[in-house]
Amino acid sequence: MKLSVIIVNYNVRYFLEQCLLSVMEAAKAVETEVFVVDNNSVDGSVHMVREKFPWVKLIANQDNAGFSKANNQAIRLSQGKYILLLNPDTLVESDTFSKCCDFMDSHSDAGGLGVKMIDGSGKFLPESKRGLPTPAVAFYKMSGLSKIFRHSKRFNRYHLGYLPENETNSIEILAGAYMLMRKDLLDKIGYLDETFFMYGEDIDLSWRIIKAGFKNYYFPETRIIHYKGESTKKTSVNYVLTFYQAMIIFSRKHFTGSNANLMIALIQLAIYFRAFMALTHRFFQSALLPVMDFLIAWGGIWWMKNNWVRWIFHGDIDYYPAYYILIVVPLYILIWQTSLYLGGSYDKKQNLFRTVQGYLIGSAIILVFYALLNAELRFSRAMIVFGTTWGILASLSLRMIFSKIGWIKLVYNSVQNKRIVIVSDEDEFNRVSGIMQNSGIQTSFIGWVKPETPDSDKTNCLGEVRKLHEIVKIHRIDEVILCSKNNTAEEIISIMTTLQNENLQFRIVPAESSFIIGSNSINSPGDLYMIELNTILKPYNRRYKRFFDLAGSLLLLLFSPVLLWFMQKPFRFILNIVCVLTAQKSWIGFCNEDKSTSLPKIKAGILHPAIFFAKEELNKENIHRANILYARDYRWTNDLHILLKGFRKLGN
């Protein structure tokens, strides 16, 4: 056996499927065995591998064993001359395995090999080649000097910025996403150190290869796509603690004396600094905008109140009591902000239409309560109107400023209509267009580009792929979808690298799959276009659903002495109220009889959307359709209709 490919998977089913399809193609040129070690995923990964890739040697762990331990499980069973540790969020070219094995065969001094990696937008990933993180190298990286002097041999040794990205060179540290190594060497120096749970094991193993007298090489003659996790993940305190703890383990293991103490001191200093920065970033990301909204709204109403008194009431400062500005106005603002929050106006991606909508809904709620108050507590409808107008103008302006700074991403339309081209043959174009239509993706333009010269009678084709750069510019394209059935991995990667500076999104459709993988990230469901679109998981819909659960539970609890007489199971009804209030359940969820792994993960429900079917119509197809429609077109009004329909079953 020439090559053993080992992939450790944890809840990235769709990326794993695409990875295995590319591995299957690359393995045609080299005698290869493939292991998938699944660390107790709950997204249907194991079932997918068994069903679609029966030739894969699957190890299904019953818990999350960690990256090192999972890889070692497969290494012990492997038969290949070379071992390749490969991330599931990668796409390899069809000649990647053959080129890498040939290089290792012809370079007896090579103990490990890494390749050129690009991200999901076609940009080169500097971690493709790295140096050993000595105290000096770590200091230059943590201080930011490596970013300032990107091509300096002294200051950017961490990413070896002085080495050309298209030139083969000896390096120190291989990237864990793609590590090709000799099996007999691993048998001598040991496998991955299981002390490292998630980070640092690639640095440790790479350094042990060098200490054994071999070299690690960076080999850019073949490329892979590595989607990576979101960069925002690295601002979390969890990431900081886990990553730097791994660095401390490495330092204690490989450095001695003053070097080890200095390295550990630097790392501990970095932990405190990065943790502080992470917390600061989180505050600015989540708290700054609502705090500024509150202060600006309160200040504006205070100023308008004073001028309104002077103009209408001729300076009668006692018209508004002191508690009006100190208590009543803050309550108004909190109602507005609750409405803004539920509508998504504090998400990272914001919609100006929803900001206006949030203020108007909040004002309607305020006016309803206003009408119910005693006359002496109804101060002025005009101030509510003025406050609404000022709040809308101030909030829109504030969001435009934040958008310019780059703190938020602004969406100006209520629906983002994308301009898309699909690179495929005619059959794939029609199939992918159908996936997008069924997914509810809003597009203003979908064009077709063929991989080869189009036939003369294909008038609906924009042109061939060699003219894609011009097509993108002329038609103002936002997104390019590449079908792997008609484009090899090499062609896909070449297109992405050629167009990397055009501010495009790239998505890939694996052959015969009903999903489309998006660029840059493996962490967000929004990066997948699926027939079962996860609309219900959009942040504002999740908030609406939770708000509906809370509000509904409180109302049901308030009237429970009367409602108990109408319930089929009254005592269970009270227990369900408690479960929903404590977020253990939701009033509405998917029908439990549908075991589809493609459904989004939400709380178990008391009622379900299939309640509208008569008993004789409750078959698997109808239940699945009802669940899909509920997930794809979620609205809180749907929950209300289901709750009213199954009212007497709220104790089930």
In this predicted structure, what is the pLDDT of residue 528? 46
CA 127 to chain centre: 21
Contact (Cβ atoms closer than 8 angstroms) between residue 7 and residue 35? yes
* DSSP 3-state of 242: helix
Q: What pLDDT digit, counting tens, does each position of 49-97 carry?
A: 999 999 999 999 998 888 888 999 999 999 999 999 999 999 999 999 9
Query: Which of 411, 441, 468 marks a domain boundary?
Result: 411
Contact (Cβ atoms closer than 8 angstroms) between residue 625 and residue 596? no
Position 321 in a domain: yes
In this predicted structure, what is the pLDDT of residue 319? 67
- Reported as a pLDDT band with limits 50, 70 and 90, residue 633 is confident
103 with 202, same domain? yes
If we measure between CA atoms, which residue out of 107, 264, 212 comes closest to residue 204?
Answer: 212
In this predicted structure, what is the pLDDT of residue 535? 67
Cα separation, 127 vs 147, whole angstroms: 13
Tell me what the mean pLDDT of segment 495-519 comes to. Answer: 80
Query: Which of 411, 443, 474 marks a domain boundary?
Result: 411
pLDDT at 519 over 60: no
- Tell me the CA distances in angstroms from 495 to 121, 127, 408, 513, 597, one per residue in order: 10, 22, 29, 21, 33
Tell me what the mean pLDDT of segment 111-132 comes to. Answer: 89
Position 252 in a domain: no
Of 466 and 523, the one with more pLDDT? 466
Contact (Cβ atoms closer than 8 angstroms) between residue 480 and residue 462? no
Those residues with Cβ within 8 angstroms of residue 372's Cβ, 6 or more apart along the chain or in another chain: none
- Reported as a pLDDT band with limits 50, 70 and 90, residue 275 is low
323 with 394, same domain? yes
- Reported as a pLDDT band with limits 50, 70 and 90, residue 313 is low
Position 367 in a domain: yes
Contact (Cβ atoms closer than 8 angstroms) between residue 185 and residue 212? yes
Position 499 in a domain: yes
In this predicted structure, what is the pLDDT of residue 196? 61
- Reported as a pLDDT band with limits 50, 70 and 90, residue 309 is low
Position 94 in a domain: yes
In this predicted structure, what is the pLDDT of residue 232? 37
189 with 213, same domain? yes
pLDDT at 287 over 50: yes
pTM: 0.68
pLDDT at 555 over 80: yes
512 with 547, same domain? no
In this predicted structure, what is the pLDDT of residue 109? 94
| Candidate ranges 170-179, 252-261, 509-518; pick with highest mean pLDDT | 170-179
Give the CATH number of the domain where residue 435 resides. Answer: 3.40.50.720
pLDDT at 239 over 60: no
Contact (Cβ atoms closer than 8 angstroms) between residue 564 and residue 546? no
Q: Range of 53's domain?
A: 3-129+165-225
Percentage of the chain exceeding pLDDT 70: 80
Contact (Cβ atoms closer than 8 angstroms) between residue 395 and residue 293? yes
547 with 502, same domain? no
User: How many domains does one find in the chain?
Assistant: 4
pLDDT at 178 over 90: yes
pLDDT at 533 over 80: no
